[in-house]
Amino acid sequence: MPLCNQRLLLEFPAGLIDPGETPVEAAKRELKEETGLNTEKVLFTIPGGYSSAGMTDEKVAIVGLLVSGNFYEMQGKEEIHPIRTNVNRLYAMVADGDSCSSRMQCLITGIHLARSAEFCKLCE
> The domain that contains 118 carries what CATH number?
3.90.79.10
User: Quick one: pLDDT at residue 43?
Assistant: 95
Amino acid identity of residue 53, one-letter, is A
User: Quick one: pLDDT at residue 1?
Assistant: 46
Which spans in the chain are helix H?
23-35, 87-95, 102-115, 117-122
4-57 pLDDT, tens digit each: 555 678 888 989 999 999 999 999 999 999 899 999 999 999 988 888 888 888
User: Quick one: pLDDT at residue 17?
Assistant: 93
Q: Over the chain, what is the mean pLDDT? A: 83
User: Quick one: pLDDT at residue 7?
Assistant: 66
User: Quick one: pLDDT at residue 5?
Assistant: 56
**Half-sphere exposure of residue 111: CA atoms within 13 angstroms, side-chain side:** 11
Q: What is the mean pLDDT of residues 102-112?
A: 83
Q: How many domains does the structure of the chain reveal?
A: 1
Q: Which domain holds residue 91?
A: 3-122
- Alpha-carbon span 124 to 119, nearest angstrom: 9
User: Quick one: pLDDT at residue 16?
Assistant: 92
